[in-house]
Structure 1
Amino acid sequence: MGEDRGNVDLLASWLDQSRPAVQDRRRRPDQAGGLRFAFYGRVSTADFQERASSRRWQRDAADELVAGHGVIVAEFFDADRSRRLPWRDRPQAARLLQCLADPARGFDAVVVGEYERAFFGDQALTVLPLLDAAGVRLWLPEANGPVDLSQASHQALMMLLGAQSKREVLRARFRALTAMRAQARDEGRFLGGRPLFGYRLIDAGPHPNPMHAKWGRRLQRYDPDPVTAPTVQWIFAQRLLGCSVSGIAAELNRSGVPCPSQADPSRNRHRAGNGWMLTTVRAILGNAKYTGRQVWNRQPAQHTPPHLPGPSRVQRWTGTDDWVISTRVVHPALVSESDFVAVQRLAAAATPDAPVHHYLFVGLLRCGRCRRVLDPCWSHGRAAYRCRHGHTSARPQHGRPRNLYVREDRMLVIIRDLLAVMELAPAALAEHLRRERLMVRCTETGCSLQPL
C-alpha cells in the first residue's frame, strides 16, 4: 500500500512539472495577495444526484475562473434545494447573505461554477444589489469574470441566462411529465413513490431502457399484501353495506386495526400514526388503483411562482378529469370496478348540490391550547372556525376540553386591531397575513400574532 501511494505521488509530481504553464497561472491558497473568494454551489436532489461529484465540478469551474486573480477561502453549498427557491430560503445561500453585513467576513467576492446552479430566472438581479451594497462582486463563468451591470452587454447576458434557466426547467419538466403520462396510460407502469396501503411491491421484470437494465434496474408492480389487503376489502364491503365513513373508521379504531402509518411506519415517517381518521378511510375508498389499474396524476406537484410567499412546491388533489388511468388491469384488484363505482356514487349522493362556502383565514388561525390549526366550518349561516382538540367521530376523546369556536366577522375586527390596519379590506387583510407570514393564536380569553 505504501509503495502504491509513493507511485501516485511520484506520478503527480511528474505531471505538475510537465505542465508549468498551468501551475504558474494557478495561485495556491497559501500565497498572499489577490482577491479572497467565497464559492457558492447547489445540488437539487440529494437522492437522484451525487452531491460530491456535483460540488466537485462546480468548484473546479470556479477555481479555473478565479485562477490568477485570487483564491477561494470560503464555501457555501446547498444540497437538496431547488433553484426556484430564493436565496433567503436556501440555508447556505441565506448564510452567505448574512455574512455580507460582517466587515470581518473574510472574502471580497462571490464566485459560482454555473449560473443555473446558483440562480433561476431573474434571481441574480435581486442578489446583485445586496452584494454591491456590501462591496462584493459576483463572478460568473458565463461573464468570464465579475458581473458589471453598468455594462449593457452584461445586462443583456443576465437577462439571457435568466430566460435560459427557466427554459431548461420547463423543457425538462414537460418531457418528463409527457413520458410519465404515456407510461402510466399505455404500460400501466409503476412510477415510484410509497406503496399503496393494501399492496406490496414485487419484481416486474427488467427495465425496458437497455442502459438501465444493464445497470441492474428493474421494474416493480403492486401485489396484495397478505396483512393489509383484507382491511382494504373490508372497508369497501362495509361501505357498500351502508356504513358511514366515520363509522368504519371508528370500528377500525375500536378493533385495534393498524392504520397505514402504524402498519408501515418506515414509509410513513411524516405521519403521526395515531389511528384511523375519516380522511384516511375516505382516501382509500376514492383510490381507483384498488381496481387493478394504474392511476397517475391524482396529486401532482404544483409550483408556486418564486415571487409569491409560501412553499415553492406543493401537492394538490386533482379532479377525475385530470387522472391518467391505464388502459388495462396491471395488478391484482382488491375491489371490482363495479363495486368501486358504486362506492363513488354513494359519496356523491351524500353531498347533493352542497353550497360552496368561502373562508378568508384558512390556515391562518391556530389554537392556543393544542396548537392545531383551526378548521373552517359553517355555523348558524356564517363563516366560522373551530378546534375540537383532536376529537373526531372516528376517534372520540373522553374528558377533552370544550371546542374553540371563532366567528370570521369577529376575527376581522380582532386582526385589524392587532395589525392596526383598519383601512384594509377583508381579502387584503388575509393576504397581508400570508405575505408577512403571520398567524393568529386564538384562545378563549384573547388572540395574538405569531410567525407562520
Structure 2
Amino acid sequence: MPDQSAAFIDEHLREAGIPVAQYVRMSTEHQKYSTENQTAAISEYASLHGMRIVKTYEDAGKSGLNLKGRNGLQTLLHDVETPLPGFQAVLVYDISRWGRFPDPDEAAAYVHACKSRGIRVIYCAEPFNNDGSLPSTVFIGIKRSMAAEYSRELSVKVFAGACNIVRHGYRQGGAPGFGLRRQLIDEQHNAKGLLPRGERKSIQTDRVVLVPGPPEEIALVHRIYRLFLQENMSERLIASVLNREGLTSDAGIQWTRGTIHQILTNEKYIGHNVYNRSSFKLKVQHVRNPPEQWIRRDGAFEAIVPIEIFAKAQAIITERSLHLDDSQMLAMLRQTLEKHGALSGILIDEDGDAPSSSAYRSRFGSLLRAYSLIGYTPRRDYAYLEINKALRRRHPELINEITSGIEKVGGWAVRNGATDLLTINGEFTMALVIARCKPTAAGTYRWRIRFDASLHPDLTVVARMDPSNRGAHDYYVFPAIDFSNDTLPILEDNGFTLDAYRTDSLEIIYQMAGRVPLPEAG
C-alpha cells in the first residue's frame, strides 16, 4: 500500500485519536477486495495517521453500480447529515470501493454530501494525495471514469458469456417454474443432482439444464392447459379453482392470474431456451426487448407440454390481445361498470373479458381519466392520487430547472442523489418542497407544507402550486434561522411577516447564487 503523506490531511486530522469511520464494500469480482483485506489496510492507514476507527459501514456482496441495496452506504450518507455523526472523516480502501457508478458524477455527489458537512472521504490505497488540489481532482475524476468503464466492459462480457451459454442449450438464471426443476451437470454432461430453490451452482465449469419436475406437478400443468383450452376458463378463473382446492404454486403460495398466464405462455414448457426478453444492464433501467433481440435455443430441454397444445393456447391469447381502439376499450369498461355497479383496478382485472387496469392507465393516462370518459365518478375522490404522482414527477424537473438557472448566472449546484439536497457554490445547502393546492368548500385555497427536518438545509424553497397543480403559484424562500413549522404559508394571504419571504419567481435564488468575475487589479 502506498505511504501517503500526511500533508493532504487537515490539521485536525493530524491530532492523535481523531475519530473516523470506515466504509467497506465487497462484490464478487476479486478476493483482494474482501472486506477483511480492506479493513486491514484501512486500519494500518488510520494507525499511521493518528486516527481512531469508531464506526464501520459495510456492504458485503453488493454491486457498486448504484445506491439501491447498499444499506451501509445509505446509512453512512444519512448519518453524516445528522448534527453529531461521531466521526470527522470516512476512510475507504479505494475509489472503486466507494462505487462503480455508470455516471461518475453520482459518486462525486455522494462524496460532496459528506464534505458539505465537514466530513472528508479519504481513499487509503490510492497513489495520489487526496487534498483537493488540481492534480488530485484530476486523478480522482479519471479513477471514477475508469471504475465506470470497468462496469460497462464487464457488463458486455457477462452478457456475451450468458448468450453463449444459452445458445449451447444451458439454463441462464431464473427460477425453473412450476413443473420444472434445475438439473446440475458437469463438463461431461453427467447429472450431479437437482438444485433446490434458492441455491446456485458453485463450480464454474458446471452447467444447469431444466428437467421435468414431480409427476403431480406435470399433471397439474396439463390440467391448466385443459381448463384453458377445453373449458374456456380464463387465467383468473383457473387460479380461483386451484386455490379453492387448496393447491399451491411451486413457491408454496396461492395461484394468481399472472402465475397461470406464465405457464400458458412461457416457451420453457415446450423445451425452448429463451433469454434476453428483458434486460437491466448496469442496473439503470428495465427494458423489454423486441423478439429479434431474444437469444434462443429451441429444443434445449425435455418438453412437458406438447408443442401443438402450446400453439393452440398462444393462438387464443393472441386473438384475445388484438388491438382495441379507444371506443372499444371504453365500451368494455362500461360493461364492467354495469356488471359490478362500480369500478376499481381490482374489479377491472377480475373481469377476464376486458383489458387490464394497467392497459387503461397506459392508453388514457390514468384510470380516473378513463372513468371520466364514460361518465363514472368514484364514490371517493381519488384525484389527489394522480395529482401527487404528477407532483412527484415535477420535483426532479424543478430541481434541474433550479440547477440550470444557477449555472446560467455563473454559479453551480451539486445535487445529493439520495436526498435531492442542493449544495450551492459549495457554500450553502437548499431543499425544495412542492406544496399541493387544495380548494376549500368556501372557494378559497390552502397549501399543506411538510419539511424534512433531518436534512437541515440552510434554505428551504417552497413551490406553492396553482389551483390546477400544474404550475407554480409562487415561491417562498425560508432561511433555516428564521422559520419554524408553526409559521408556514398555508393561506392565500399570509400577512406581511410571511409574505416578506414570498417571490413570484426563482430569480432571487439565481441572484444569490450568481458569480461575477472581478477584473484583476493593475
Bin for the TM-score computed over the shorter chain: 0.5 to 0.7
Note if 1:33 corresponds to 2:16. Answer: yes
Which residue number in structure 2 is paired with residue 54 of structure 1?
34
Contact 1:140 1:147 in 2 (8 A): yes
In 2, Cα distance between equivalents of 1:379 and 1:107: 60
Alpha-carbon deviation of 1:261?
Answer: 2.5
Note if 1:184 corresponds to 2:142. Answer: no
Q: 1:403-429: per-residue Cα shift (whole Å, max 9, x none)?
A: xx972468796468x77xxxxxxx954
Note if 1:130 corresponds to 2:113. Answer: yes
Q: Compared with structure 1, are the counterparts of its residues 227 and 217 closer, same or farther at alpha carbon in structure 2 (3 Å cutoff)?
A: farther
Alpha-carbon deviation of 1:319?
Answer: 4.3
SS at match of 2:344: strand
Q: 1:372-424: per-residue Cα shift (whole Å, max 9, x none)?
A: xxxx998459xx97243899469xxxxxxxxxx972468796468x77xxxxx
Which residue number in structure 2 is paired with residue 84 of structure 1?
65
Amino acid at match of 1:407: L
Amino acid at match of 1:224: P
- The correspondence of residues 219-238 of structure 1 with structure 2, limited to 5 A, is 219-225=207-213, 226-238=215-227
SS at match of 1:407: helix
In 2, Cα distance between equivalents of 1:146 and 1:204: 51
Which residue number in structure 2 is paired with residue 169 of structure 1?
151
Which residue number in structure 1 is paired with residue 74 of structure 2?
94
- The correspondence of residues 116-155 of structure 1 with structure 2, limited to 5 A, is 116-119=96-99, 120=101, 121-141=104-124, 143-144=126-127, 147-149=130-132, 151-155=133-137
In 1, Cα distance between equivalents of 2:283 and 2:33: 29
Amino acid at match of 1:229: I
Q: Compared with structure 1, are the counterparts of its residues 118 and 380 closer, same or farther at alpha carbon in structure 2 (3 Å cutoff)?
A: same
Q: Compared with structure 1, are the counterparts of its residues 319 and 132 closer, same or farther at alpha carbon in structure 2 (3 Å cutoff)?
A: closer
Among residues 352, 358, 382, which one is paired with 2:322 in the alignment?
Answer: 352
Instruction: Return the TM-score normalized by structure 1.
Output: 0.63
In 1, Cα distance between equivalents of 2:34 and 2:351: 51
Instruction: Return the TM-score normalized by structure 2.
Output: 0.56
Contact 1:35 1:69 in 2 (8 A): no
- The correspondence of residues 361-376 of structure 1 with structure 2, limited to 5 A, is none
Contact 1:86 1:123 in 2 (8 A): no
Q: 1:79-105: per-residue Cα shift (whole Å, max 9, x none)?
A: 343323339x73222332343355654
Q: Compared with structure 1, are the counterparts of its residues 317 and 260 closer, same or farther at alpha carbon in structure 2 (3 Å cutoff)?
A: farther
Which residue number in structure 1 is paired with residue 393 of structure 2?
431
Q: Compared with structure 1, are the counterparts of its residues 299 and 216 closer, same or farther at alpha carbon in structure 2 (3 Å cutoff)?
A: closer
Contact 2:277 2:290 in 1 (8 A): yes
In 1, Cα distance between equivalents of 2:210 and 2:282: 29
Note if 1:290 corresponds to 2:269. Answer: yes
In 1, Cα distance between equivalents of 2:154 and 2:242: 44
Q: Compared with structure 1, are the counterparts of its residues 142 and 58 closer, same or farther at alpha carbon in structure 2 (3 Å cutoff)?
A: closer
Instruction: Tell which has more relative contact order, 1 or 2 (C-alpha 8 A, sep 6+).
Output: 1
Amino acid at match of 1:41: V
In 2, Cα distance between equivalents of 1:105 and 1:191: 44
Which residue number in structure 1 is paired with residue 186 of structure 2?
205
Identify unmatched segments of 5+ residues in structure 2: 7-13, 190-200, 336-341, 353-365, 398-418, 421-433, 437-447, 451-522
The alignment of Structure 1 onto Structure 2 pairs a total of residues equal to 348
Among residues 230, 250, 261, which one is paired with 1:260 in the alignment?
Answer: 250
Identify unmatched segments of 5+ residues in structure 1: 1-21, 26-30, 263-272, 306-312, 358-375, 395-404, 420-426, 441-447
In 2, Cα distance between equivalents of 1:304 and 1:202: 29
In 2, Cα distance between equivalents of 1:64 and 1:71: 10
Q: Compared with structure 1, are the counterparts of its residues 184 and 391 closer, same or farther at alpha carbon in structure 2 (3 Å cutoff)?
A: closer
In 1, Cα distance between equivalents of 2:204 and 2:98: 34
In 2, Cα distance between equivalents of 1:167 and 1:53: 18
Which residue number in structure 2 is paired with residue 43 of structure 1?
26
